[in-house]
Amino acid sequence: MKKHLKTTALMAALVSGALTTGIAQAGMNQEAQVWADDQAVSEGTVTAKKVTAEANGWLVVHRTNKTMKPGPVVGHAPLKKGENMDVSAILTEEVKSGDMLMLMVHAEDGGMKTGIFEYTLGAKADGPIKKDGKLVISTITAK
């Protein structure tokens, strides 16, 4: 009987530890990130395979080039806090094959209205999120 209780207690501890580790890892994975690949944009959209957001916000599509500086906004899509899969932004102007695009996580704060994208280049409202001083981005090339 004692052996059975020890085994049961050991199993409970292992399961509890595994659950705690899983919960901790899930929490760590909530850091803002963007995953995207080069893609065709001929249908007028650009899609991130996965976006993780620490709060509700926006996936914003900026033009960029080899300097890797964010340029004008050419699309955006809302993000919910947590994991967002297959996030598609409708492009607001023509993007040609070979153009570089920067998909960036922006906050939903500082503007006049919640749920309305209010950012313009350089503004504070609904501005970019930075982690360790770096923008949260994925850069792709339109096909």
Shared domain check, 77 and 19: no
What is the band of 126 on the pLDDT scale with cuts at 50, 70, 90? very high
Token reading at 112: 């006049």
Measure Cα distances from 143 to 38, 41, 42, 75, 139 in Å.
7, 7, 8, 17, 13
Cα–Cα distance for residue pair 32/37, rounded to 1 Å:
17
50-82 confidence digits (pLDDT tens): 999 999 999 999 999 999 999 999 999 999 999
- The whole domain housing 48 covers 33-141
Shared domain check, 57 and 45: yes
Shared domain check, 134 and 117: yes
Q: Chain-wide mean pLDDT for the chain?
A: 85
What is the band of 122 on the pLDDT scale with cuts at 50, 70, 90? confident
- What's the domain count of the chain? 2
Shared domain check, 45 and 4: no
Shared domain check, 8 and 24: yes
Output the pTM of the full model. 0.78
44's CB contacts (< 8 A; 6+ apart) are 90, 91
Shared domain check, 13 and 78: no
Shared domain check, 136 and 100: yes
CATH of the domain at 43: 2.60.40
C-alpha triplet 23, 24, 29: angle, nearest 5°? 95
Shared domain check, 117 and 105: yes
**Is residue 103 a contact partner of residue 60, using CB atoms and an 8 Å limit?**
yes
Shared domain check, 41 and 21: no
